[in-house]
Structure 1
Amino acid sequence: VAPFRSCLSPLDCYVIHEVYDGDFTPEQFESELEAALEQEYRYIVIEPARLGEETARWISVGNCLHKTALISGALSLLSPVLALPIDPFHLLGLPGGVLSGACAALYAVSWQFDPCCKYQVQRISPQELAWLPLEAIHTSAPVVLVHRDDTPRKRLHNVIALTALVYCVRRLLDLYVD
């Protein structure tokens, strides 16, 4: 509950209202979200259900790519330790390393420079909803985005993915040189 107490400040929290009077269109909601993301508010509350769902989905796909790059890269690097000492089993790490590199590359191209990747979706309970500026919120189930520093996370998955790719290249060279 405590993280939302500071959301009462207009400098920390931005609400994208679901208002459909006259000129407001879904495209304007999207441009309002882009502006809020660029301003790097600590909390962004999205009232329009469609925009909130699309944004949450986009963030979850980016998170999935990040986690896949980490897990597959770590498994690739650990494969020599986990595998039997028989040569074909040492090649088990190659697909994981390639998958890790592919996921890291796709994340770098599609998500890394998107301001949305600096946010995580915060699931809030009705008690936490009480700390949001309720006079400004017109829905009972908004999507709440919380700004997070993603630099260490990006560095970690890039280092693991690159290390796994280097390991894979080395294993392939060992295989063809022998």
Structure 2
Amino acid sequence: MSVADPNDDNVFLENNGSDNGLALIREIFDGTDDLMDTELERALENRMQTIVIEGRRLGEETARWISIGNCLYNTSILTGIGSIITGILWPDKRTTQCCLTGISLFTNGIHVLSWQMDECYHYRVENDPNSIPVPLADFDQPVVLTRRPYNQIKRDNIFQTAISLIALAFTAFKIYKSFNLTKIVV
């Protein structure tokens, strides 16, 4: 891994432990945020375990992007489960079930295409200051990102897709059954 210039305020700190280290992205007042954006991209590409972003705008945008992805993930799962429950409890509400299934598939598709391909998807915003390995007293309202374990990400992706596909299959079966197309005579 490359280490930034020692005179630069944006310095990567490397740990010799099992993780990939810590990236500190300090706010520099040069009129643009290009340097901070570049440093964040570099930290994400190097798969740093912890990223501390001091820049208020960049930190808020990154946290917002992660929360939108989480919202899409949760919407996909909840509407998929809602579709299945609606089909079981209210079998006559096929329109509601179809709408919930459509929303589940739509949000799952957006999440897969837009968020799972982004490096930020592998991170979560850390809200517990005791679990952060660096003292944050020197930072002005930092946003701290910690990398999620690969097996957790994989499990979440499989679960999300499975719920959406089960909702689709269940809805398709209910529609098929409601049209009494169970037997076609030739």
Query: Are 1:157 and 2:160 counterparts?
Result: yes
**How does the TM-score come out when normalised to structure 1?**
0.80
Pick aligned residue for 2:127 from 117, 123, 128: 123
- Give the distance between the partners of 2:97 and 2:54, measured in 1 at CA: 45
- In structure 1, what is the equivalent of residue 76 of structure 2? 69
- Give the distance between the partners of 2:41 and 2:69, measured in 1 at CA: 17
| SS of the residue 1:92 aligns to | helix
| SS of the residue 2:146 aligns to | strand
| SS of the residue 1:146 aligns to | strand
Pick aligned residue for 1:102 from 100, 106, 110: 106
- In structure 1, what is the equivalent of residue 96 of structure 2? 92
Q: 5+ unaligned residues in a row in structure 1: which ranges?
A: 1-6
Contact 2:26 2:54 in 1 (8 A): yes
- Aligned residue identity for 2:121: C
* 1:6-155 aligned within 5 A: 9=15, 11-21=20-30, 25-83=32-90, 87-125=91-129, 131-133=133-135, 138-149=138-149, 150-155=153-158
Q: How many residues align?
A: 163
**How does the TM-score come out when normalised to structure 2?**
0.77
- Aligned residue identity for 2:39: E
Contact 2:87 2:171 in 1 (8 A): no
- Aligned residue identity for 2:116: Q
Q: Which has the higher helix share?
A: 1
> How far 1:139 sits from its partner (Å)?
1.8
Contact 1:16 1:32 in 2 (8 A): yes
> How far 1:170 sits from its partner (Å)?
2.6
RMSD: 2.4
- Aligned residue identity for 2:74: K
Contact 2:83 2:97 in 1 (8 A): yes
> How far 1:132 sits from its partner (Å)?
0.7
> How far 1:17 sits from its partner (Å)?
1.0
- Give the distance between the partners of 1:8 and 1:114, measured in 2 at CA: 23
Contact 2:94 2:175 in 1 (8 A): no
| SS of the residue 1:88 aligns to | coil
For residues 104-130 of structure 1, give each alpha carbon's deviation from its aligned partner in whole angstroms, at most 9, with x where no partner exists. 0010111011010010001144x556x
Pick aligned residue for 2:173 from 167, 170, 174: 170
- Give the distance between the partners of 1:95 and 1:158, measured in 2 at CA: 17
| SS of the residue 1:102 aligns to | helix
